[in-house]
Structure 1
Amino acid sequence: MDVLPVVVVIPTRNEAENIAQTVRSVIGRFAHVVVVDSDSTDGTRDLAKAEGAEVVPYTWDGAYPKKKQWCLEHVHPETDWVLFLDGDETPSPQLLAEIRRVFDPPPGHRIRPAAFDIPLGYWFAGRRLRHGHTIVKRVLLDRTRCRFPEPDDLAAPGMGEQEGHYQPLADPVVRLTAPIEHQDLDPVRTWFERHNRYSDWEAWLEEHPAVREQIRQAKTRQGRLFHRAPLKPLVSFLYAYGLRRGFLDGRAGLDYALAMSFYRWQIGLKARELAAARTAAGADGGRVRH
């Protein structure tokens, strides 16, 4: 089997710094490589085309399905299997070999899982982290047996066209061992800009517990446990830097653990601000006017 029977889908918006490297890592190895682009203004589309990728324009209509589910429904639907990559991600050589074993099994075996979870080799501020927080993404999917949840979060800020921090629904799921390398070449400020937006969404969920519970059910076991943890900034730091031995990554490990702790602190602070505003609005609405 020379070309794997998988569609690689790369959702993008302004990924000019990273997209060429991502497309190069998969072009010619998979049946299709498709960049689904949301009105980039930095040349992302031209760079992707120059590397041989198909480019599909995408504009979100403000409703469900959001971007990845739309891709499952519309991008080469004749091919069942989809591998999602971010615009700054590349499959490691070990992962390419592992996926090939999945799709070229010994005689008498067949692909049974509906999806595969894949760990990330995470880069932060230009350094590859070997320890710290382990991130796993459910990104290799049989589209006929997977679907992204549709929680009642369309009114929430921070995410827009992107599905939130939850996994597509699938059963059964198998975890692969080799990583996707998540190496963002943009400056570290873009990490903080993204996570500032994400914290808006997470804080909104704190004020909408029914939606928060919908999303908790669609997370990994680790994510569901952390969802219920108290003192999240402290727990996040101790988990990444201590329990997961982030200190072995030197300064990069400390920087990442602090950044994630700050992200959790942002969520809590914004949630308290929203709660205070709601209480003030309720008090004002309950006043008797003469």
Structure 2
Amino acid sequence: MEKLPVVVAIPTKNEAENIVTTVRSVIDHFERVVVVDSDSTDDTRALAKAEGAEVVPYTWDGAYPKKKQWCLEHVYPDTDWLFFLDGDETPSPELLAEIRRIFTPVPGRTVRPAAFDIPLGYWFAGRRLRHGYTIVKRVLLDRTRCRFPEPDDLAAPGMGEQEGHYQPLADPVVRLTAPLEHRDLDPVRTWFERHNRYSDWEAWLEHHPAVREQIRQAKTRQGRLFHRAPLKPLVSFGYAYLYKRGFLDGRAGLDYALAMSFYRWQIGLKTRELRSAAAPDEAPARAASGGGRGGEGR
């Protein structure tokens, strides 16, 4: 089988539980498969190499570019197209066939979009979800026409070397139909640990509206609409479980809708905590500026 002229980049840190399946799913289909590893302390690197992947070490320097933009700039940059996979993701057979149709050379035809959005087949607590909230990832990119945003969020907690929850900037973009399977084999507690960190970042953004607006511009239309919604925990649950029929997934659909609603609640609670902590500092500043009735009466 002819390999496609695409570099697969797999950013990892401690993905020994999942990396073998991920590498095996792509190693026979793409020109290069590169694991970009951030100082894993488990067997991620050895397992990836054993399956035929190249391993490139990565250490974040605390500034931009972050990890995925670094991959765009440094992982075989002479190959225009790059396909990002998380360490627990595998392209479905249908997606591989769809990508092969796009990149198989045809006289007189070129691949024109700057990027492709791919729907995620999401697994939660060991169950494949068929309904509910749908995630779409922009992960198949022409690196000459795509770039990740660089918002002023380096002081924010929660994300570290990872880009935040926004898409790379690209135009035009085409959405594919077949799914990328996101099947995390780690215990469900790791999902909550990750989202606890992510909610730190989201809450920091709520407390810094100028940076929040920078990121809003880089989100999908669905993401921008939800960004403005009030009562986000309730809206999140109603949208995923009722409107998008998450109830058809049985207990797994309920668990995931509740987990996402809890994530939104965490963000709101942490945002209120940040605002409360900042409020005492604002009062002396107002007094020093002569604000309030006491200053005006003298």
| Distance in 1, Cα, partners of 2:88 & 2:284 | 48
Q: Which residue pairs with 2:207 in the alignment?
A: 207
Q: Which runs of 5+ in 1 are unaligned?
A: none
| Aligned residue identity for 1:9 | A
| Aligned residue identity for 1:199 | S
Residue 96 (structure 1) aligned with residue 96 (structure 2): yes
Give the drift of 1:127: 0.1
| Distance in 2, Cα, partners of 1:222 & 1:167 | 12
| Distance in 1, Cα, partners of 2:105 & 2:59 | 38
Q: Which residue pairs with 1:61 in the alignment?
A: 61
Q: What's the CA shift string for 1:86-120, capped at 9, x where partnerless?
A: 00000000000000011015433211000000000
| Distance in 2, Cα, partners of 1:15 & 1:181 | 16
- State the secondary structure of the residue aligned to 1:119: strand
Q: Which residue pairs with 2:124 in the alignment?
A: 124
Q: Which residue pairs with 1:217 in the alignment?
A: 217
| Distance in 2, Cα, partners of 1:160 & 1:181 | 25
Q: What's the CA shift string for 1:228-257, capped at 9, x where partnerless?
A: 111000000000000000000000000000
| Distance in 1, Cα, partners of 2:261 & 2:63 | 32
| Distance in 2, Cα, partners of 1:113 & 1:131 | 28
- State the secondary structure of the residue aligned to 1:174: strand
Identity of aligned residues (%): 85
- State the secondary structure of the residue aligned to 2:223: helix
Q: What's the CA shift string for 1:145-192, capped at 9, x where partnerless?
A: 000000000000000000000000000000000000000000000000
| Aligned residue identity for 1:13 | K
Asked which structure has the greater CA Rg, the reply is 2
- Poorly superposed stretches of 4+, deviation over 4 Å: 284-288
Q: Which residue pairs with 1:163 in the alignment?
A: 163
Q: Which residue pairs with 2:279 in the alignment?
A: 279
Q: Which residue pairs with 1:14 in the alignment?
A: 14
Q: Which runs of 5+ in 2 are unaligned?
A: 289-298
Q: Which residue pairs with 2:237 in the alignment?
A: 237
- State the secondary structure of the residue aligned to 1:68: helix
- State the secondary structure of the residue aligned to 2:181: strand
| Distance in 2, Cα, partners of 1:66 & 1:36 | 12
| Distance in 2, Cα, partners of 1:269 & 1:281 | 20
| Distance in 2, Cα, partners of 1:209 & 1:272 | 14
Stretch deviating more after TM superposition (100-109 or 23-32): 100-109
| Distance in 2, Cα, partners of 1:38 & 1:283 | 43
- State the secondary structure of the residue aligned to 1:48: helix
| Aligned residue identity for 1:56 | V
Q: Which residue pairs with 1:108 in the alignment?
A: 108
Q: How many residues were matched structurally?
A: 288
- TM-score with structure 2 length normalisation? 0.95
Give the drift of 1:77: 0.6
| Distance in 1, Cα, partners of 2:221 & 2:20 | 34
Give the drift of 1:280: 1.6
Stretch deviating more after TM superposition (98-107 or 13-22): 98-107
- State the secondary structure of the residue aligned to 2:254: helix
Residue 135 (structure 1) aligned with residue 150 (structure 2): no
| Distance in 1, Cα, partners of 2:220 & 2:287 | 45
| Distance in 1, Cα, partners of 2:78 & 2:167 | 23
